[in-house]
Amino acid sequence: MNSKLLLIIIFSLSWVVGCEKQEREQTTSVEKPTTITASSPPSSRYMGGPAELVTAPNGAIVNKEVLEQLPKTAWTKGPEIENPVDGVYVLGGYLISACIVVEAEEGLIVFDTGDTKEDGEKLLKAIRTFTDKPIKAIVYGHTHYAFGAGVMAEGNKDVMVIGHPDLNAIVQRNLSSGGAPAYFAEVSPYVTARALQQFNFYLPDEGPDAWFSPTNLNLGEVAFLPVNRPVKDGEEFEILGIKMQFFTKYGTDDKGHTTVWLPDRKIMIENALWGTPPNMYSIRGDLFRDAREWSELVKLVRDLEPEALIGYAHRPLVGKEKIRATLNAYLDGIAFTLDQTLRHILGGYGPDDLRHMIKMPEYLEEDPHNFQSYGELSFQTPAIYYHTVGWYNGDAATIFRPSPREEAERIVQLIGGRDKVLQEAQAAYDKKEYAWSAQLVNYLYKLDQQDKEVRLFKAKVLRQLAYLSTGANARSHLLAQVLALEGKITVPRIIPPMPQAIAAAPEVTVDFFRVRLDPEKSGKTNKVILFDFGGKDKTVGLHIRRAVAEFLDEPDKHYQPADVILSLSGEAWVKLALSQASVQQLVDAKEITMTKGTIEEADKLINLFDKYRPEKAMLVAPHLHD
């Protein structure tokens, strides 16, 4: 063993032994909270703390702070075209992210192009209201809004498409998974469904439950143009006579980020600053965002001392001193969130403690970019905890827990039964202790999701939590589920990939298919099934070994030969993957050819996997499984 490492271990052990002689509660400077009693002040606006509700112009009932603060950093009155400095236009309010246009003598450079082909059409129409110059170059600021470019190019095959060197691969991976990015792409259908809740897809445009901000998300056909001019970090060159420098080392909410510096004009085009604190954790379940990396990008932008800050996620800022002050406040907000979370972890606090204990200082909240209008701070701190040390909160009593249903049964019994729980939930509701009211009624909901009175009461309390929330993420999730509980809409629990995405990369979804294996059905199965999509190089398979299905990327190298081989197109695989047809039906329709094995054997193997049933994939609760 390395001698230095040995010394560190010995020192650490002696320090721990010494600490055991002291009061364990004195090992950090983080103070323990006082005992909470019925007379304690409310912990938040969700537990009866002060808050004022007002009506937005579209009829939405919102927290007054949202109506006052959000317009300072975001486009809340619909589409706007801003012209902060000569030759630069910002199209805000059209989409969740802004589109930026830089005008040169010979043409236009467009930064980010929307989430769909329809978005591209909408943005192009807006651009044509102030210029008829051709779009000669497109720059992808990040991977999320690269899908209207095919429209923006207006048929010009020579348009330069600039972006991060990994952007094409990231986009292809996301398109192959058929939905929103997920750490494990196999669960993309689940994350996609949650994304639609997050982005107001189910909310009306007007009325008390209407969405307010950001704009709502639409699904549709994409018009992606691959990057044909990848850029390296720090690389410089001219586009249409405009000198630009590109930075790709740091990102924020995705890994295919490109920040652009126009040194001659001191203009920065970026996604470092948002009109809200960083969403280091998105409650739809997106990839974790590292606060340290986000901070480094903010520092890079600040230290270049821009005189115009043109962002995808905030209204443009002009003036060096104003920009520096804003970026410092934003940077300090990130540092405070991360450092205080780590401090409290060292103090022995778990994720549920952090959710309530860490509050942004007033002086940092004074900058409108730190107003929690998207995610809220209480979402970020538990996510950092889980990413840092996992789910265990350090309290051994929580290692083994009853199942959610068992807990609900016992809590309801302790309180005095269903009617007593509803009575207590109503009492909490009357005191505006909505978070507690929601927790109480949720015990009943876990026991009987079809209890109409319970569903309507849960909807009632979630609606109040939505109105109080400053974060658009929380509001949209809450209200989508309110409307579903009231039977006004149907919210899917999962959204499978679009058929064309499955057909375009069938081998990817064969791999994903493995996680649908039902171990109770598969029993002692030991079979290999192959899917031939057009030759040796396009043949993949699954080795079903009892409770596991191993994906075979190169089945000819696998130690066990195939028992069943199906020759089929990507379109035929779509029908199998989405449970639209059986092997027998597809053979009868001449869409599948049996190369080896029997039809009966093939159907038997496919039936070991969960079927996709749209009527069974509807959201009835945030937690469907006990």
DSSP SS3 for 592: strand
Residue 258 CB partners (closer than 8 Å, separation 6+): 139, 140, 141, 142, 162, 163, 164, 167, 231, 246, 247, 248
Burial classification of residue 409, based on how many CB atoms lie within 10 Å of its CB (0-12 exposed, 13-18 middle, 19 or more buried): middle
Q: What pLDDT is attached to residue 614? A: 67
Q: What is the CATH number of domain 499-614?
A: 3.30.1050.10
Q: What is the mean pLDDT of residues 551-557?
A: 96
The pair phi, psi for residue 288, each rounded to 5°, is -65, 135
CB 471 within 8 A of CB 375: yes
Q: Which residues of 287-323 are buried (b: 16+ CB within 10 A; e: fewer)?
A: eebbbeebbbbbebbbeeebbbbbbbbbbbbeeeeeb
Note the pLDDT tens digit of each residue in 205-226. 999 999 987 666 667 788 999 9
CB 441 within 8 A of CB 415: no
Q: What is the mean pLDDT of residues 381-396?
A: 94
Note the pLDDT tens digit of each residue in 93-136. 998 889 999 999 999 999 999 988 999 999 999 999 999 999 99
Cα 69 to Cα 309: distance, rounded to the nearest angstrom: 20
* pLDDT classification of 10: cutoffs 50, 70, 90: very low
Q: What element of type H or E holds 602? A: helix 599-606
Long-range contacts of 455-461 (CB under 8 A, 24+ apart): 455/485, 455/486, 456/485, 456/486, 457/422, 457/425, 457/426, 458/485, 459/483, 459/485, 459/486, 460/429, 461/425, 461/429, 461/434, 461/437
Cα 41 to Cα 50: distance, rounded to the nearest angstrom: 11
Within 10 angstroms of residue 64's Cβ, the number of other Cβ atoms is 13
Note the pLDDT tens digit of each residue in 417-465. 999 999 999 999 999 999 999 999 999 999 999 999 999 999 999 999 9
Residue 138 CB partners (closer than 8 Å, separation 6+): 109, 110, 111, 113, 149, 152, 153, 159, 160, 161, 162, 225
Nearest to 78 by CA among 97, 64, 95, 62: 95
Q: What pLDDT is attached to residue 589? A: 97
CB 112 within 8 A of CB 145: yes
Q: What pLDDT is attached to residue 78? A: 86
Does pLDDT of 36 surpass 70? no
Residue 260 CB partners (closer than 8 Å, separation 6+): 111, 139, 141, 244, 245, 246, 247, 268, 269, 270
Does pLDDT of 7 surpass 60? no
Cα 443 to Cα 422: distance, rounded to the nearest angstrom: 10
The sign of the torsion formed by the CA atoms of 248, 250, 256, 259 equals negative
Note the pLDDT tens digit of each residue in 223-276. 999 999 999 999 999 999 999 999 999 988 888 899 999 999 999 999 999 999
Q: What pLDDT is attached to residue 615? A: 59
Does pLDDT of 30 surpass 70? no
Long-range contacts of 450-456 (CB under 8 A, 24+ apart): 453/422, 454/422, 455/485, 455/486, 456/485, 456/486
- Most confident segment among 187-191, 279-283, 508-512: 508-512
Q: What pLDDT is attached to residue 216? A: 63
Note the pLDDT tens digit of each residue in 323-340. 999 999 999 999 999 999
Q: What is the mean pLDDT of residues 367-373?
A: 95
Query: Is the domain 404-485 a CATH 1.25.40.880 member?
Result: yes
Does pLDDT of 292 surpass 90? yes
Q: What pLDDT is attached to residue 65? A: 95
The pair phi, psi for residue 202, each rounded to 5°, is -100, 0
Q: Which residues of 219-254 are buried (b: 16+ CB within 10 A; e: fewer)?
A: eeebbbbebeebbeeeeeeebbebebbbbbebbbbb
The third-level CATH classification (topology) of the domain covering 67-329 is Metallo-beta-lactamase; Chain A (3.60.15)
Of 35-49, 102-116, 257-271, 557-571, the least confident: 35-49
CB 168 within 8 A of CB 179: no
E-strand ranges in 393-500 read none
Structure tokens at 596: 């080896």
The domain segmentation of the chain, as residue ranges, is 67-329, 404-485, 499-614
Note the pLDDT tens digit of each residue in 496-549. 888 888 998 899 999 999 999 999 999 999 999 999 999 777 999 999 999 999
Percent of the chain past pLDDT 90, that is, above it, reads 74
